[in-house]
Structure 1
Amino acid sequence: MAYRLQQCTEAGARLLKEFMAGAEARREARTLMRHVLKLSEHDFFKDPLARLNRSDFHRFASLIRRRAKGEPFAYLVGKREFFSVEFQVNPSVLIPRPETEELIEHILKEHTHAPARIVDIGTGSGCIAAILAMQWKAGEILAADISVDALETARRNILELGLEDRITLIHSDLFERIQGSFDIVVSNPPYIKKEEFATLDRDVRDFEPGTALVVDNPETFYRRFFAQALQHLNTGGRIYMESSPALLLAQRLLAEQAGFVDIRIEKDLSGKERFLIARKA
């Protein structure tokens, strides 16, 4: 049996159309085929009757089946673009999202010069730390995570981007193994309540790391988070945090009780309250 490029791609798109809009299904099927064959977009369209070998056909079919079951596209191809930079991703880390790009934009807007020291708590893929290191050519950045697997993914991204001399990775539960003080604390910590988890989209709920998503006891977790963050900030230092509209008001109160000042909540581009920014007096 001959496996033709266009024929196989169209068959994959038909299967995906049962779960997503037609244009999106065609785009994803094409991209998965290009991923399997390592083709540029130009080469993909150059010869639609090109034959696939049996191995490539079965690999493509497997990816289509996995996508149809809800597995995130970024995990299938092993990468995600963030701030116009490609990052490796896998099920040990959250897939970087546009809201986190907005978090970085708040930091860059409010700091015209590179801070001396930055710590990224819950670094995951390392995307926040990496982008800040690329934007600012000076300053020290620490990136911490409780997950050893996440830190390995971050390490590969940092090496790929040539930032190993700028970013230090640390295995730490919040600030437990962090030493010294910082000008900026940035974090995209777990902020989904346990009772909200079942309402998440299937591709998030069933495939992304639950420990990076769900906070079991928000009050206990964030009381500890803000107290430790305050201890590790220089006077005048700021914390930048991504969160959920369902938690931000409670987090604002906890930050105030911890001793933060100038606390404000910012909305994302969709109009949802998404970020908490505060200063150490």
Structure 2
Amino acid sequence: MAQGIPDSSKKLFEFVRDNINTDGNQREAEAKSYLILEHLLKVDRNDIILDRSVTLLAEKSKTLLKYIDRINQGEPVQYILGEGYFYGRPFIVNSNVLIPRSETEELIELILNENPDKRLRVFDVGTGTGCIPITLAKERPGLKCFALDFSPRALKVARQNAERYNVSIEFFLIDILKEGIPVDHLDVVVSNPPYITRKEMEHLERTVKDFEPHTALFIPDEDPILFYRHIAARAAARLKPKGRIYFEINEEYGADVSKCLVENRFQNIKIIKDIHGKDRFVRGEKSI
């Protein structure tokens, strides 16, 4: 064991927590410590509470110290460990895809609650890790899910996640700004596209702006609804009458995205807030 690293699970947890630099945010340091110990040593919260003994061999001691160092350099813990949790499930992640966020879990809830039919055809635009269609398919067996992304590397990750959870998703390598949606008779189109303007970059945490893929995050300042405009037009051509579209949005542009849906002949349009009270989703229905 490396010198100075304890062999008590509780003391080890405290060691990791106290050596992670999170600018005084102890809750964040604790959350990252739990993730690291569970991944590296299969030690969970109960083990730590009961202070079970652990065996930390020299190689894993070195790995633990490297993890702490990488976190302190700003790298997201999910990239370090190679997975991030979404809707209670670990998804493979790397620097080619965005780390799934809790707000997108609310988007899953919205789609499931508003669409009880088990035989829906669902298309996810800009799938990244594949967390949206894979989670929908796991939560509602019988759904037929499709997804696209313009990045071959992102699609590789999405396919790995689909294989991990044994769900059948048909993936397409497509740039939605240049091509249409390749599947017809859809019940639902969903997308969490890039929606952060470049001028907002300076306000982002280092873990986001320095490590996550910019092509999945940022849009031009002069055209903040670029992706929504293209996706809405493509979706209108492929959805069934009364089929629904769901967007995750930048809270500043809910009205603009709604107007975009109106221009593409959607109705029953609604801006929906997330659990923090911010405008986070826009949904609409295709006119008959």
Q: Give your verdict on TM over 0.5.
A: yes
CA 41–262 in structure 1, closer or farther in 2 if over 3 Å, else same: closer
Q: Which ranges of structure 1 fall in alignment gaps of 5 or more residues?
A: none
**Counterpart residue number, 1:279:** 285
Quick one: which amino acid aligns to residue 82 of structure 1? F
Matched, 1:83 2:62: no
Say if 2:16 is the partner of 1:12: yes
Aligned counterpart, 2:74: 70
Please name the residue that 1:237 is paired with: 243
Instruction: Name the CA distance, whole Å, in 2 between partners of 1:189 and 1:81.
Output: 20
Q: Contact 1:115–1:183 (CA<8 Å) still a contact in 2?
A: no
The structure-2 alpha-carbon separation of the partners of 1:263 and 1:129, relative to structure 1 and needing over 3 Å to count, comes to same
Quick one: which amino acid aligns to residue 251 of structure 1? V
Whether 2:135 is the aligned partner of 1:131: answer yes
Aligned residue pairs: how many?
Answer: 277
1:203 pairs with 207, 217, 225, which one?
A: 207
Q: Secondary structure at the match of 1:247?
A: helix
Identical aligned residues as a percent: 35
Cα shift at 1:99: 1.0
Residue-by-residue CA offset, 1:148-201 (whole Å, 9 max, x unaligned): 11111111111111103xx11111112536232311001111111111122111
| Structure 1 contact 19–68 (Cα < 8 Å) conserved | no
Q: Which runs of 5+ in 2 are unaligned?
A: none
1:170: which partner in 2? 172
Question: In structure 2, what is the Cα distance between the partners aligned to 1:20 and 1:115?
Answer: 48
Distance in 1 between residues matched to 2:235 and 2:84, nearest whole Å: 29
Summarize the Cα distance change of 1:181–1:215 in structure 2 as closer, same or farther, 3 Å threshold: farther
1:274 Cα deviation from its structure 2 partner: 0.6
Which amino acid in structure 1 is aligned with residue 268 of structure 2? D
| 1:56 positional shift | 1.5
Bigger Cα displacement from structure 2, 112-121 vs 126-135: 112-121
Distance across 1 between alignment mates of 2:84 and 2:150: 22
Change (3 A) 1:62 1:130: same
Q: Which moved more, 1:31-40 or 1:149-158?
A: 31-40
Residue type matched to 2:243 in 1?
G
Q: Distance in 2 between matches of 1:155 and 1:185?
A: 19
Q: Shift of residue 109 of structure 1?
A: 1.1
Q: Secondary structure at the match of 1:46?
A: coil
8 A contact 2:136–2:143 mirrored in 1: no
Q: Find the counterpart in structure 1 of residue 193 from structure 2.
A: 189
Deviation of 1:60 (Å): 0.9
Structure 1 stretch 16-25 or stretch 96-105: which is displaced more?
16-25
- CA deviation map 1:20-59 (0-9, x unaligned): 43354245335424422344555663225x4431x21221
The one-letter code of the counterpart of 1:16 is I
Distance 1:186 1:177, change over 3 A: closer
Once the two structures are superposed, residues 237-257 of structure 1 have per-residue CA deviations (whole angstroms, 9 ceiling, x without a partner) of 110110111121111111111
| Structure-2 separation of matches of 1:189 and 1:208 | 14
TM-score, L = length of structure 2: 0.88
Shift of residue 19 of structure 1?
2.7
The structure-2 alpha-carbon separation of the partners of 1:187 and 1:221, relative to structure 1 and needing over 3 Å to count, comes to closer
TM-score normalized with structure 1 length = 0.90
CA–CA separation in structure 2 for the residues paired with 1:23 and 1:99: 19
For the 8 Å contact 1:265–1:277, the answer to whether it is kept is yes
* In structure 1, C-alpha distance between the alignment counterparts of 2:30 and 2:267, rounded to whole Å: 50
Shift of 1:223: 2.2
- Residues in 2 aligned to 1:229 and 1:171: alpha-carbon distance in whole angstroms: 17
2:253 counterpart (238, 247, 251): 247
Deviation at 1:115, TM superposition (A): 4.2
AA paired with 1:176?
G
User: Are 1:94 and 2:117 counterparts?
Assistant: no
